[in-house]
Chains A and B, each alone.
Chain A
Amino acid sequence: MEYILDVQNIQTFIGQYHILQGVNVRVPKGSIVALLGRNGAGKTTTLKSIIGLTAPREGKVIFNGQEVNGMRSFDISSMGIGFVPEHRAIFRDLSVEENLKIAERKKGDYLRKKDFIFELFPDLKRLISLPGTSLSGGQQQMLAIARALVPDNQLLLIDEPSEGLAPVIIESMMAAIRELAKESTVVLVEQNFLVASKLAEYYVIIEEGRSVQDGNMKDLVADKAAIHRYLGAA
């Protein structure tokens, strides 16, 4: 199988804390891979280690066959990785349009992708000139994802898109992620197992900074014991 992203045994420190102590993630091209695990397991840190915001001290991150660990964040990201952070971290002081424009990597990215983005998230079109602050939680999450769609990204790292959203909104969010996964590969961190199991084809479970189990999502759904042990959910 061809892997667009291959994370090999990364060790990440934050300050003197040894947060990731061996995480392996393999992402087949064109798939959706879910990172699962309890609060504080190290899922967000894994995403940040991939994009270089918390650079791994050891191990390898290979993107499209090229070793990117140790490179600066903006260089890694420029190779075609989009990052959608947790807690809907959009730029509050920028308007919706500016939030999208700032993500341009080449001039004209925004104009080129505009229609695609507004088709996916029709709400945003209406809100285009509002400041980020005045958006609802769901709209902010849409914007955070839309922002990662502006440049040509081959890989999207999405951190807890369903966090704190109402069920109806989660539905449309899932539809949007499915739609954009047709164009690019997705690594998804998701606490809501139901959402994760419906979206992803593969999974990796992270526990206390280690990847402890991975495989096909279908197999995990059937494995009630593993779900209970690692995720504490039924």
Chain B
Amino acid sequence: MNSFLRKNFIVIIAFAVMAAFLIAAAQGMEKKDFVITLLRGLAVGSITFLVASGFSLIFGLLDVLNLAHGTLFMIGAYIGWTVVVRPDTFVDLLTPLALIASGFALGDVYPLLASRIRLGSSMRRILPWALILVSLLIFWRILPRYPIAIWDVENYGQSPVTFAFMADSGTRLPVLPAAFTEVTMSSALIGLLLASIVIAFGISLFDTSPRTVKLTWKNFIWFAVALIVAIVGVVFNNAMTDYLFGLNSNWLFFVAVVVATLSGVVLGGLMEATLIRPLYSRPIYQLMLTLGMSAIGIEMVRAIWGRPEFVMSKPEFFNGGGEACPATNFADWWANHCSTILFLDGRVRVYNEIFIPLVGLVVLVSIWILLQRTRLGMIIRAGVQDREMVEALGINIRRVFTMVFALGVGLAALGGVLAAPSSGLSNAMGESLFLNALIALAIGGLTNYPGAALGSVIVGMIQQFIIKYGQIGIPIPFTDIVFKPTPPLVPASTVMLMVIILLILPNGLLGKKE
């Protein structure tokens, strides 16, 4: 015990100082303000945690600093919004996207195919590029003609802002279904499938190491899944659209969360397998690539959803109003689903300040269980320390890399879709949150999983307390002056805290010394 105290002396002091600050903060404000600010800090911290934990998992195992993580968070939000407000667009997109992904799902089959082809060395060099070019041409022919019902960014009356506004006020703008007119359905579907297989095969040719592949039905599962999704998407297009339009907002929100998270997972997996993987020996290029991806991501979001900010309505479950609201206790809330609960005379927003932290907690615990109790988690923990040795044990660490990247991006996308109803959607939502996440990780310890949670909560709390003090002011002792922190102090304060902590503890609060 004594040695434990000595070893963790500085960390303990750091916690004591922070506790002292919290107590000091509690003295300066009313109890209800204190509790609500604490909950808000927890809410911001939870969203930050979802981004930070994914980022840190990826960095810990792959040594990749994914600078696109904030952008992927934002994309999660926009995808979620699309499912809630324009389910028809989402259903129309299902088939082409599944087809584009389907070729990549056959990744294990290509080496076998490649080993059958005997070519001269110059042909070997040209072939992948030729295949990629051909498939890009096919995509370029088909995709712009593929019928997708979508909003119109240029036309205000049909823009996402208007759709969002109408949805928030409980009505829907009428939408026009899209139909195959410029291409026939069969040529579009077959063309996309072929192009996807060709491009995935082309990319796989860059990896020339011979492999022993024993093909089993397992290698075809994901391909089959993608095909089934594509076929269901096109055959039951209208039925699915009608079904989603008919869902109540809770279920629709649930579908949106699942779809956004899965999209993040697929996007992350594809990103690792195609763009990140060839560059493991060139970390600087990898860094530049993720930075470029981030910029491209933001531009794509601007092109598709437009620049103006808009909102995503909260599901009914958390959005009740009327006579009985705000609720005064939990049973009362359960009966009316009020958007707020009265607590110590303050209003606690149920979605923001209770639901989001709960989801954060569930994710925290699930990932913890994944890391500590499963074989995959064991491999991840071992790989963080010594990738080579894990591979030398006969474990395909590449595949684990892809999974972890997919998981990390999935968590960011989950954060995005959860944040959308509370903070709205904007092109900039990713950047500020990503900065928060980086600061949280620096404070908590870059690759330390509990550290990511702790750092995120600290960052969230500090920001919310400073915002609150900006409203009520801090009376400076022994003077009449009331100091009101201005909004720019909010990010500045967390950066300052990070600097102080890093000066004292270069590895963050919970980071290990290397």
Contacts and interface: CB of A to CB of B under 8 A. Distances in A.
Interface of A: 51, 53, 55, 70-75, 77-79, 83, 85, 89, 91-94, 98, 101-103, 105, 147, 151
A83 B378 contact: no
Contacts of B127: none
Q: Name which of B210, B379, B392, B397 has the most chain A CB atoms within 10 A of its CB.
A: B392
B396 interface: yes
Nearest to B390: A102
A93 B385 contact: yes
A93 B392 contact: no
B212 A75 contact: yes
B385 A91 contact: yes
A78 B382 contact: no
A105 B390 CA distance: 12
B382 A102 contact: yes
B190 interface: no
Interface in B207-252: 209-212
A101 B210 contact: no
Q: Name which of B385, B388, B391, B393 has the most chain A CB atoms within 10 A of its CB.
A: B393
B389 A77 contact: no
B392 A77 contact: yes
Q: Name which of A79, A103, A151 has the most chain B CB atoms within 10 A of its CB.
A: A103
Given A71-B212, A93-B381, A98-B378, A151 B391 contact: no
A25 B291 CA distance: 47
A72 B209 contact: yes
Contact of B210 (A71, A77, A78): A71
B60 to A, nearest CB: 11
Contacts of A78: 394
B391 A53 contact: yes
A50 B61 CA distance: 25
Contacts of A83: 389, 392-393
Interface string B379-413: 10110111011111111111000000000000000
B450 to A, nearest CB: 13
Query: From DSSP, what is the main secondary structure of chain B's interface residues?
Result: helix
Query: From DSSP, what is the main secondary structure of chain A's interface residues?
Result: loop
A72 B211 contact: yes
Contacts of A55: 209
B88 to A, nearest CB: 45
11 contacts: A71-B210, A72-B396, A72-B398, A74-B393, A74-B397, A83-B389, A89-B389, A91-B385, A91-B389, A101-B375, A105-B394
Contacts of B385: 91-93
A73 B379 CA distance: 16
A94 B392 contact: no
B397 A94 contact: no
A164 B365 CA distance: 41
A73 B391 contact: yes
Contacts of A53: 388, 391-392
A51 B395 CA distance: 13
A148 to B, nearest CB: 8
A92 B512 CA distance: 12
Contacts of B396: 72, 74
B389 A51 contact: no
Contacts of B209: 55, 70-72
8 pairs of A and B residues whose beta carbons are closest in the complex: A77-B394, A78-B394, A91-B382, A83-B392, A73-B391, A74-B396, A74-B394, A103-B393
B212 to A, nearest CB: 5
B379 A102 contact: yes
Contacts of B378: 94, 98, 101-102
A13 to B, nearest CB: 13
Contact of B393 (A77, A79, A93): A77
Given A94-B381, A102-B382, A103-B393, 6 more contacts: A53-B391, A72-B391, A72-B396, A74-B395, A83-B389, A94-B382
B396 to A, nearest CB: 5
Nearest to B386: A89
Contacts of B395: 74, 102
Contacts of B382: 91, 93-94, 98, 102
A209 B38 CA distance: 63
A91 B464 CA distance: 40
Contacts of B394: 74, 77-78, 103, 105, 151
Contacts of A147: 393
Nearest to A101: B378
A71 B394 CA distance: 12
B211 A75 contact: yes
Nearest to B207: A72
Q: Name which of B378, B381, B394 has the most chain A CB atoms within 10 A of its CB.
A: B394
A74 B382 CA distance: 15
B347 to A, nearest CB: 44
Given A93-B384, A98-B378, A73 B212 contact: no
A75 B210 CA distance: 10
B94 to A, nearest CB: 35
Contacts of A71: 209-212
A134 to B, nearest CB: 13
A92 B393 CA distance: 16
Interface in B357-388: 375, 378-379, 381-382, 384-386, 388
A93 B378 CA distance: 9
Contacts of B393: 74, 77, 83, 102-103, 147
Contacts of A72: 209, 211, 391, 396, 398
A219 B395 CA distance: 40
Interface string B49-77: 00000000000000000000000000000
Nearest to B208: A70
B115 to A, nearest CB: 12
A98 B373 CA distance: 10
Contacts of A77: 391-394
Contacts of B381: 91, 93-94
